[in-house]
Chain A
Amino acid sequence: MHRTGELFGQFETMEQQRESASLGMWVFLSTEVLFFGGMFMTYTLNRSTYPDVFGEASRSINLTLGAVNTIVLIASSLTMAMSVWASQVGKKQLLTIFLILTLILGSVFLGIKGIEYHEKFVEHHVPGLNFSFEPGASVATNAHAQLFFSLYFAMTGLHALHMIIGAGLLIWLIGQSLKGRFTPEYSTPVDLIGLYWHFVDIVWIFLFPLLYLIDRH
């Protein structure tokens, strides 16, 4: 395993290596935008085709938990930003603490998301598993509500997958940070994983109003 902070063979200078890594992450995130973009498109189109059923279905998801989760995630972005700052000014202990806080907040988010999924499971709102929207709903309403929940699970599921990957990366970062690998001269992994983490948060900032807030009076 390559030790962090060394110059890889293909580069001439550390500066070039840093620049490449950073640009690589930005390019990757632009790919991610389009990756989520296809789903946002699908959701938006269906939302405008079936505004009533989608409105009704969206009111059945738990706004309180969603709102709490939004706050949790924004807080985790703050602690992540603090980690990046800590690594840049060389406060090694603080870096580890902020990384651990970020990991905890990310895990809380996933836990609350799990509770929400469980609620949906109990209510038979999981598509493909004995789906039934509400007693007495027409076949069409049922189908369109299932469309909403399919998209809900696909979008939040893909987002959660990104959170899980982010949590894995954080665990690795914490390990490296405990070994004291990050210095003001070398903090690229913290910066890059920070970028990734913020991106995943921003996706949620779009998901939350789209899924929870529209048409809720």
Chain B
Amino acid sequence: MSTTPAARPSATPGNTLPREHYLNATYGIRSWLLTTDHKRIALLYLVSVTFFFFIGGAFATMIRIHLLTPNGYLVTAETYNKLFTMHGVAMIFFFLIPSIPAVLGNFLIPLMIGAKDLAFPKINLLSWYIYLVGGSFVLYSFSTGGLDTGWTFYTPLSSVYSNSAVTPAVIGVFINGFSSILTGLNFIVTIHTMRAPGMTWFRLPLFVWAHYATSIIFILGTPVIAITLLLAGLERMLHLGFFNPALGGDPILFQHLFWFYSHPAVYIMILPAMGVISEIIPTFARKPIFGYTFIAGSSIAIAVIGFFVWAHHMFLTGESAYAALTFSLLSYLVAIPSAVKVFNWTSTLYKGSISWDTPMLYALGFIGLFLVGGLTGLFLACLGLDIHIHDTYFVVAHFHYIMVGGAVMGYVGGLHFWWPKITGRLYPEFLARIAAVTLFIGFNLTFFPQFILGYLGMPRRYHSYPPEFQVFNVMSTAGASILALGYLLPMVYLIWSMRYGTVAGRNPWPATGLEWQTDSPPLTENFDVTPEVTWEAYDFVNRPDLGLDVKGAPSLAPAHGDD
């Protein structure tokens, strides 16, 4: 299975857990709920986002069961509207957006740059509590009848006509926004001021670059949705008219403001996943990443261009032809930095010494699925074609390829990759590979038929459909059940491995990042002494400490000189 000269994780017996680490430094519920340790806060987030993932997943399951038959016998039309709304709200605002940044980013950024913690540890804890408060409002909405506006909260449906628990959900999402803002603020400041000696900007792991770009979106995009939802909420509660045409307001303005955040929010979900992939690929190809500066720069480019494409969600709202043309063109431009990343990952694999460990399976799956998701995004950015496939299952399939095939694959892959660092123990490799393959198959079976359904004209958000579409819907539902299994399996064995997994040691893969230089699990202070970085990013050659046989390999030029 492995062709690399390095010892495999299973072949490194004799590792023992460090005597003291962040998990056993203090005990008791208070030591967790009042912790300011970024690693513990990451675990608090891990538990909470997993909770919301399963809530959102339960709604998805009901949707897919309902759509097994053309007329759908499981729920009423009204309930169906609520199901897809709550699926979207839970998954987007409370799982996808915080998942990689707040769990992996929180845990890893200080470790990767050689810092003791984030710049503002108390604000970090505060952001978790804000997330909980926002989440509670949303759960209150879900449990008192739910809401049926779609996750987009379009006015005046959400502000005037909907007879469901919209207000608490809007308040919840509003509050949750501040959690994102504070996380982004913390990351930006930390990356600027907390880097260890020698950790220059162009020696930063690409994971950190990706999170820097994500944080820019957090701090510049999130406040806009916050204020927009505040106005929509006020409109609903006090019967004002900001976005209500009956009172002179403009519903299209709501859509502009909403997508000004919510399109960049897609990049909040995908950029951190791209960061994860950029770490996994060089590790398991045993080769420095190709085009470091281009990958780093493309993250920033995606974040910046991403702010200027929002109205491609609104081609059919009657916006002017010139606006539509401009937004279409700008949307195409995002494909360039995205493709830069894919090409660079592929080039990294070229002549690499590839091993098929679980994180690598997720990374390769990511590249394929992201490619499909990204290219179908171009279909949707195309003005003429979008008229045909707008609001169909084609769109649903497209964004699930990006968000589930991309972001979630990156998240689960990253969890596996850093699991030994987080817990000090390895997950069972064989089961993990089975789960990765199951996820890949289940995912494609669920969502690929939806491309066809959409192209044939099945609209999204309908609780029933013409009988000729049933075969694809049955395939999709069958895929969803495989997908569900693929999610439950890691859940079980990861928890199992926390107690019974093989002890990992500091650097089981081995990988080049600073986070692998310290104990697994790390000390509360992360490092015994502040590390000093004397090597370039992803340099396997000048690293005798990794124990690799690299005699005769060419030495690595500084990152900014190699492309």
Contacts and interface: CB of A to CB of B under 8 A. Distances in A.
B185 interface: yes
Contact of A50 (B118, B248, B257): B248
B121 to A, nearest CB: 6
Contacts of A140: 248
A64 interface: no
A108 interface: no
Given A16-B194, A24-B119, A39 B223 contact: no
A10 B38 CA distance: 11
Nearest to B225: A38
Interface in B396-448: none
A10 B116 contact: yes
A30 B231 contact: no
Contact of B250 (A19, A49, A150): A49
Interface of B is mostly: helix
Contacts of B227: 35-39
Given A34-B220, A35-B223, A27 B530 contact: no
B239 A128 contact: yes
Contact of A12 (B120, B220, B224, B530): B530
A38 B241 contact: no
Contacts of A150: 234, 240-242
Contacts of A144: 248
A205 interface: no
B247 to A, nearest CB: 5
A27 B192 CA distance: 12
Contacts of A28: 185
A146 B116 contact: no
Interface string B211-239: 00000000111111011100100100011
Interface in A100-117: none
B306 to A, nearest CB: 15
Given A42-B257, A154-B231, A147 B181 contact: no
Interface size band for B? 35 or more
Interface in A22-49: 23-24, 27-28, 30-32, 34-39, 41-42, 45-46, 49
Given A38-B224, A144-B248, A31 B219 contact: yes
A78 interface: no
A62 interface: no
Given A127-B240, A128-B239, A147-B249, A27 B219 contact: yes
Contacts of A147: 240-242, 247-249
A46 B228 contact: no
Given A42-B242, A143-B241, A20 B189 contact: yes
Nearest to A127: B240
A36 B194 CA distance: 30
A151 interface: yes
A40 to B, nearest CB: 10
A27 B253 contact: no
B220 A128 contact: no
Given A36-B227, A37-B224, A41-B257, 4 more contacts: A20-B189, A24-B119, A150-B241, A154-B231
28 contacts: A10-B118, A10-B121, A19-B193, A20-B119, A20-B194, A23-B188, A23-B192, A24-B189, A28-B185, A31-B185, A31-B222, A35-B224, A35-B226, A36-B227, A37-B227, A38-B223, A38-B227, A42-B253, A128-B238, A128-B239, A140-B248, A147-B240, A147-B241, A147-B248, A150-B240, A150-B241, A154-B231, A154-B234
